[in-house]
Structure 1
Amino acid sequence: MTSLSDVADIVIGVDTHVDTHTAAIVDTATGAVLDQMTIPTTPTGYEDLLAWAGEHSPARAWAIEGTGGHGAGLTRVLARDAEVVFELDRPQRIARRHGAKSDPLDAVRAAREAMSRPVRGTPRAGGQRQALSVLLAARRSAVEAATIAQRQLFSLIVAAPETLRATLGQATGTERVQRAATLRAHRSDDVETATTRHVLRTLARRVQALTAEAADLEKQITVLVKAWHADLLDLFGVGPIVAATVLCAWSHPGRIHSEAAFAMLAGIAPIPANSGRVTTRYRLNRYGDRQLNRAIHTIVLSRQRYDATTQAYTARRTSQGKTPREIRRCLKRYIIRDLYRILESGPPTA
């Protein structure tokens, strides 16, 4: 990537917080701090920041921490005015001298880090991507809450009075939830049985409500995925949730500069772990987007179970001495390559 000093006179680093943002202007030629400013996170504050930046140089770039979080509002305003914005999602912070830390210092560090990075990330897009991200977050919380409620339901049934265990003990999964949701109070119940019966019914109905909520959110996700990149759903093992996760991580054409970078983002690219005479050692990459990594893992498991071609590949690599984990890593790399080519080629035209 071109050095920032070749395309911008100043870099404005922004340290973002809930109520305020602190910005620092750094000269790209010398690295000197030219000015600093703190604004409230309001539309007026964002306009004041833009006016302040305009007083220094029109050839500028912005380095913002958390463009999808605390800095989302400012990022939208900058995108509206076609400003050049770089994302510092997880900044590689330099060692603070004597432990010094403040919002202005962090803003300066953000600007200087953008200048020093060989590859600078751009913010994820809004619109369809942000809509999918919101739906995925809501569905994920509903599924997790339903899972917790089901575990609590099972645990309470195990220790429940015998009359309730006789009704629910042999049931499993959905049937257990349905039976528990229809429990009714009995006059003959003692206080323990009555209370347990009421709690079991409450938990079961909570599971049903959360399951219905997750299903409704998945329908909305499916509609958005089909409208944006329906061709992803044609790939074996790719359902609407996996496709939406991939789209949210990718965001838009050109954001991820290569297929290798997409693999690194997914935590799939192997990391060299060589030292001395050992030159062929690699370790597992546990960085990157873990939701994307999970989505790719889901595709691999689905194909190994149901796809004949993948099963044949797994058998061949097993005969060559590869372990199941190594085979899955190879499959993930092939899958991420196919996904990247489809995403960057653009959605199919009718």
Structure 2
Amino acid sequence: MTMVADPARERVEPRGRADELAIDAVLGADTHRDTHSLELLSVRGASLARIAVANTAEGHAEALAWVAAHVPTLQVLAGVEGTRSYGAGLSRALGAGGVQVFEVEQPTRRARRRGKSDTIDARLAARQVLEALENGNLAALATPRADGDREALPILLRARDELAVGKTRAVNQLRALLVTGSDTDRTLNPRRWFTTTDLETIIRRRARRGETREQAVRRSEARRLATRIRDLERDITTNNRALREIVTDLVPGLLERHGIGPVSAAQIIVSWSHPGRCRNEAAFAVLAGASPLDASSGRQERHRFNPGGDRALNRALHTIAVARWKTCPRTQAYITRRRATGKTNPEIRRCLKRYIAREVHKALSQAHTP
């Protein structure tokens, strides 16, 4: 049921990224798998209307028509939870209809002190945008991640994680199977990763005269595991090739930087998304959990790790830092210099990740500057 309060709507000139807009209302959306709860607030915080729609294409069209019925100018700012999850379709529909969409976080327990319901969460989502609008700080709100080629990268990254986990599991099973086998089996159980030759040897092994049932089962299972490992390695190679192609198209030259591979580069692009999502390189470092947190006390001045942010992005920066730590002469000279000042290895790694965050943000910004 739609509930309408005062049809008169105030108009304000928001500061920040909406300087040219005259905002009539603010929309909040609490998204779920089956339904979405939406509420319209005036720029003074009064509730104009609320509705629940299905999480389908028809429901998204209904939501946009409902917004247009109450705000014909469509001068609306929307705060949507889960813009890359259950709210992805709604975010696209609102954006295509001319509504500016922001990504809001789930309410904290303190914000929910008066109760928890979909209607309350939708109102709190709208109030997050309204507070940013009143404070002239719309730039602090994140915009939804971009679609297109960038959206292809997380699909490939999720597939690669699944392939890597499957390969590791199969390798461990094969090693356990061979180490308890005959002397011939143990010669094919190296303390390193199985080579292509090792896998082919296991796959081509034939039955021996007089082998027992246990030996036949062990040989058959080893062949199955070796075949799976070989196929997974081929799939991972294909996946890396696809990642490299998309990354090169989106950010030319990023893979040429020392220590940056296709997987780390893809994760960086996914988290960065598009120009404007992070207003500067400091905000990108905060997103990556690479910004230092002051931990000084008394005469001691120090900083510690930031445990927040996008941990997948932080892991990508860590992988780059470790690669440079081992193979980059410039980084090794920096490590020597910082050790001389009393820095520990964890503190040096933290500094390296902060520098890498600044470097990749600059590369991303330059690649997407008209």
| Same-fold call, TM cutoff 0.5 | yes
The CA deviation at 1:243 is 1.5
The CA deviation at 1:283 is 3.1
1:15 aligned counterpart, secondary structure: strand
Corresponding position: 1:246 with 2:261: no
The CA deviation at 1:196 is 2.4
Counterpart residue number, 1:326:
347
The CA deviation at 1:163 is 5.3
Corresponding position: 1:343 with 2:367: no
User: CA offsets, 1:123-165, max 9 Å, x none?
Assistant: 010011101121121112111211121112212223x332563
Give the conservation status (yes or no) of the 8 Å contact 1:164–1:197: no
2:142 aligned counterpart, secondary structure: coil
Going from structure 1 to structure 2, the CA distance change for 1:45 and 1:170 (only over 3 Å counts) comes to closer
Going from structure 1 to structure 2, the CA distance change for 1:82 and 1:3 (only over 3 Å counts) comes to closer
Counterpart residue number, 2:158:
137
Corresponding position: 1:268 with 2:284: no
User: CA offsets, 1:200-253, max 9 Å, x none?
Assistant: 221221111111111101111111111111121221111222211111111111
* Letter in structure 1 aligned against 2:243: I
**TM-score, normalisation: structure 1:** 0.90
The structure 2 residue matched to 1:173, chosen from 157, 182, 193, is 193
The CA deviation at 1:293 is 0.9
Going from structure 1 to structure 2, the CA distance change for 1:44 and 1:347 (only over 3 Å counts) comes to closer
Q: Partners in 1 of 2:154 and 2:47 — Cα distance?
A: 36
* Letter in structure 2 aligned against 1:313: Y
Going from structure 1 to structure 2, the CA distance change for 1:241 and 1:23 (only over 3 Å counts) comes to same
Q: Partners in 2 of 1:11 and 1:93 — Cα distance?
A: 23
The structure 1 residue matched to 2:38, chosen from 1, 23, 32, is 23
The structure 1 residue matched to 2:80, chosen from 64, 68, 76, is 64
Give the conservation status (yes or no) of the 8 Å contact 2:26–2:77: yes
* Letter in structure 2 aligned against 1:28: V
Counterpart residue number, 2:26:
11
Q: Partners in 1 of 2:211 and 2:94 — Cα distance?
A: 65
- How many residue pairs end up in the alignment? 345
1:337 aligned counterpart, secondary structure: helix
- Structure 2: tracts of 5 or more residues without a match: 1-14
Counterpart residue number, 2:9:
none
Counterpart residue number, 1:315:
336
Q: Partners in 2 of 1:278 and 1:20 — Cα distance?
A: 55
**TM-score, normalisation: structure 2:** 0.85
Corresponding position: 1:43 with 2:64: no
- Structure 1: tracts of 5 or more residues without a match: none
Corresponding position: 1:193 with 2:215: yes
1:26 aligned counterpart, secondary structure: strand
Q: Partners in 2 of 1:140 and 1:340 — Cα distance?
A: 24
* Letter in structure 1 aligned against 2:163: A
* Letter in structure 2 aligned against 1:335: I
Deviates more, 1:238-247 or 1:2-11: 2-11
The CA deviation at 1:82 is 3.0
Q: Partners in 2 of 1:85 and 1:318 — Cα distance?
A: 47
Q: Partners in 1 of 2:54 and 2:250 — Cα distance?
A: 36
Counterpart residue number, 2:119:
104
Give the conservation status (yes or no) of the 8 Å contact 1:93–1:109: no
Percent of pairs with identical residues: 39
User: CA offsets, 1:38-86, max 9 Å, x none?
Assistant: 1111111111100111122222111111111111111122222232101
* Letter in structure 2 aligned against 1:207: I
The CA deviation at 1:170 is 4.8
2:144 aligned counterpart, secondary structure: coil
1:173 aligned counterpart, secondary structure: coil
Q: Partners in 1 of 2:225 and 2:46 — Cα distance?
A: 60
2:306 aligned counterpart, secondary structure: coil
Counterpart residue number, 2:178:
157
Deviates more, 1:256-265 or 1:294-303: 294-303
Give the conservation status (yes or no) of the 8 Å contact 1:85–1:123: yes
Give the conservation status (yes or no) of the 8 Å contact 2:202–2:226: yes
Going from structure 1 to structure 2, the CA distance change for 1:211 and 1:334 (only over 3 Å counts) comes to same
* Letter in structure 2 aligned against 1:138: A
Deviates more, 1:141-150 or 1:115-124: 115-124
2:252 aligned counterpart, secondary structure: helix
Q: Partners in 2 of 1:105 and 1:88 — Cα distance?
A: 14
2:70 aligned counterpart, secondary structure: coil
* Letter in structure 1 aligned against 2:70: H
Deviates more, 1:46-55 or 1:186-195: 186-195
Q: Partners in 2 of 1:121 and 1:214 — Cα distance?
A: 33
